[in-house]
Amino acid sequence: MSIFVTKSFLPPKEEYQQFLNQIWESHWLTNNGPILQKLESELKKYLQTDNFLFLGNGTIALQLAIKALDLKGEIITTPYSYCATTTSILWENCVPRFADISQHDLNLNPDLIEDKITNKTSAILATHVYGNPCNVEQIEEIGNKHSIPVIYDAAHAFGVKLNGKSLLTYGDVSTCSFHATKVFHTIEGGSIMCKSKELNDKLSLLRSFGHVNDNYYSVGINAKNSEFHAAMGLAVLPHLKSNIQKRRILSERYDELLNFDVLFKPHSKENDLEYNYAYYPIVLPDGEITIKVIEALNKEDIFPRRYFYPSLNTLDYVNSTDSCPVSESVVNRVLSIPLYPDLSEEDQLRIVKIINETL
């Protein structure tokens, strides 16, 4: 059987079935139904916030953030993320300005942000890559100093705690993805959280067409999610802790066995961090060895992914003149290797052996 970089977690079928029974009973399929309300309230409790909205996906969350903050002009962002971080900026007719990333965690380098600030800058949009926190203090300071909001793409960060608080609670706005491949998922889904209650109300309106009953307030979009997706969330949530624990055991085994005389692992320098073990990225010495490792794994039916590739500032449709040497170098040498709760020890040892023998 093929081994991919990840394998979506499915709860025991009976646990999902119990919610399906409720849906057949209520005949309420979407539009803020009882199961979705339950999921929102559970997640608000878990995240310890009132300003939380469950959405259709993590990309629409980014687009809504830019729309609701009424951002124009330039947004300073990271070249090292999934394409949705940049395309959401372009989709909202803003211009991405790329500052390079830090070597140790591959997150937006806070020391390079201010160089990119102009009189057109309207926000900072950074990603907590692999669930490792950005330098939230320094970025907040820059945001305050220039009176621009900070948005975090926290798609990888569900289950991460920094200084005892969910990483999703940092920033003026933070978005998350609950896509099937993420640590916590609702098949398709996402969320948005913000500091301000007023902004949360505006986002809630934008989420469902800009109207409440017969009162039409503004242009909106359909960014809602359904009872079926919320049900998956409620069925997956009770397993979050044990899934993260299983990911942790696997990650620590990789830490122990892979050849770190040659490899480098992106890591956070925060000391009060509770990590979610969302991914296991390795950075190799050069592009050639990286291709060799991919080929050796593929030959054994094992498929790592180049998270992230390419550097977003180099995409043709982005048309950027920003140069980001760290990001542009790392994308040719980075691999996320298989990590998911039921990856067997036997398969993991095979993966380690292939990688170490190819180096």
Least distance to ligand PLP, CB of residue 259, Å: 28
SS3 211: strand
Return d(Cα 326, Cα 102) in angstroms, integer.
Answer: 7
With 0-12 / 13-18 / 19 or more C-beta atoms within 10 angstroms meaning exposed / middle / buried, residue 21 is: exposed
Least distance to ligand PLP, CB of residue 188, Å: 7
Least distance to ligand PLP, CB of residue 352, Å: 25
Edge-to-edge order in the sheet of strand 161-162: 165-166, 161-162, 273-274
Least distance to ligand PLP, CB of residue 190, Å: 5
Q: At what angle do helices 197-207 and 58-68 cross, to 10 degrees?
A: 120
Q: Which is nearer to ligand PLP, 107 or 200 (CB)?
A: 107
Using CB positions, name the residue nearest to ligand PLP: 58
Least distance to ligand PLP, CB of residue 6, Å: 11
Positions touching ligand PLP (CB under 6 A) are: 57-59, 81-82, 84-85, 127, 153, 155-156, 177, 179, 190
Least distance to ligand PLP, CB of residue 83, Å: 8
The answer to whether residues 250 and 206 touch, using CB atoms and an 8 Å cutoff, is no
Return the closest-CA partner of residue 337 out of 298, 262, 282.
Answer: 282
Q: Which is nearer to ligand PLP, 19 or 279 (CB)?
A: 279
Q: Which is nearer to ligand PLP, 189 or 258 (CB)?
A: 189
Q: Which is nearer to ligand PLP, 57 or 320 (CB)?
A: 57
Exposure of 281 in the CB half-sphere (CA atoms within 13 A): 23
Q: Which is nearer to ligand PLP, 184 or 254 (CB)?
A: 184
Return d(Cα 88, Cα 67) in angstroms, integer.
Answer: 10
Q: Which is nearer to ligand PLP, 199 or 278 (CB)?
A: 278
